[in-house]
Amino acid sequence: MPAERPAAGRGRALVAVLLALGTVAVSPALARGAVGASEPRPLVALATPVATSISTSAGTWASLPMGHLDQPFNTFWQLFDLPSRGGAHWTDHAASLAVATNGGLVLATPGGSSLVVGIRPSNLLDFSPLVATTNGTAWSPVPPVSALDKRPDALAAGPGGDELALTSAAGAPQVQSLAAGRSAWRTLVTQASLAGSPAGRACGVTSLTAVAYGPAGAALVGAACDRPGVVGVFADTSGGWHLAGPALPAGSGQDQVEVVRLQQAGAGVAALLALSDSSSSRLVAAWSASAGTRWSTSPAITLTGSERLVSVGPAAGDGEFALVSDGSGHERAEVVGGPGARWQSLPPPPPTTATIAFGPHGRVDALAVDDTVLSDWTLAQTGHSWTRTEVIRVPIQFGSSG
């Protein structure tokens, strides 16, 4: 039978085409997946790395990630130690921690020979085990705390045995404290309550970034501020929390500031600040002998758009170092010696350097990681070149964390 000519075929076809176009126009397939959509340019923010080094009277400690760094469950953080007396070789103490280290390690020292190590949670573990040592041989557990934040100074140890921890239990960032001899941590302040305080409102707290003990044993909390030109260093006094940070160098009044590091330095406290605007970031070191009344600040070093922090930590004396990568395999190491000093560049560190350690007698080591191999490069006495002095193969058990 011949096909019947459709009645009002054109009109129907037009309606159908319009319907089809309408259907497509509202299709969720168009809602996402657009390529090359432009977005407003955010402020340059620096992700704070956890890899660091720290010195005690017993030795120099370095924590860094090894293994398959693009796979969280196959990235294992190691804890290396270079003893201060007669130590020429680094020793890995990761096995002594008796826990999977995929989440990262946070180091703190109250001074003297003690070291406290916090193990960040990973996979199905949602709290942080803590362990302490004075010599790397005997380890004793410290009561566990809620999930330690991924910050190099998320843990602070006081000389009297007290401890502070920056945690994010149940998604609520807060500072917890542990009194010496006690078995349970208590909440010292939450981000929400700090942000709601007069000092917090003056800062516009966007995140908590570091904890430390001040010279008199007062708790200090570092933060990132939304309000330009305000440095979020808060001190806990009997009158509550107040801003105790330094004034910024001239010309930085419109920068947003994040406290990258905050730690005891000698008899005072040292801080490393990241200043950001829409085009670049700068690092400024600051020191205070009184934690709040008088600060001295270093000149700034600028990080270009592609550069990111690889490691930050204490340098010799009251100094600070920053290891910076440009994202294409080139790194630079910058060091500031202490109050009144300027930033100085070390020779370009060896490729894949994960952190730099400042030991006794002026020894400086660059610890480079390639999968399971750690290479220790020592800075020559002349200060002009690095020499590889040790290679350690770490027996990582890939697949052991799930």
Residues that bind other proteins (CB under 8 A): 1-6, 9, 12-13, 16-17, 19-21, 23-25, 27-37, 66-67, 76-78, 92, 94-102, 119, 121-127, 129, 131, 139, 141, 143-144, 183-184, 372, 394-397, 399-402
- Token pair, residue 275, equals 């200043």
State in angstroms the smallest separation of the CB of 107 from other proteins: 15
How many whole angstroms separate alpha carbon 157 and alpha carbon 112? 11
Closest CA to 131 of 119, 147, 113: 119
Closest to other proteins by CB, 99 or 316: 99
State in angstroms the smallest separation of the CB of 288 from other proteins: 35
State in angstroms the smallest separation of the CB of 251 from other proteins: 34
Closest to other proteins by CB, 32 or 85: 32
Closest to other proteins by CB, 15 or 88: 15
Which runs of consecutive H residues, i.e. helices, occur in 162-321? 191-196, 198-203
Contact between 234 and 259 under an 8 Å Cβ cutoff? The reply is no
State in angstroms the smallest separation of the CB of 313 from other proteins: 20
State in angstroms the smallest separation of the CB of 66 from other proteins: 8
Closest to other proteins by CB, 24 or 180: 24
State in angstroms the smallest separation of the CB of 150 from other proteins: 16
How many whole angstroms separate alpha carbon 294 and alpha carbon 272? 16
The answer for residues whose C-beta is within 8 angstroms of residue 194's C-beta and 6 or more apart is 200, 205, 208, 221, 223, 234, 241
Closest to other proteins by CB, 78 or 297: 78
Closest to other proteins by CB, 36 or 40: 36
How many whole angstroms separate alpha carbon 24 and alpha carbon 13? 16
- Token pair, residue 321, equals 């170092």
Q: Distance from first CA to last CA of the chain, Å, rounded?
A: 68
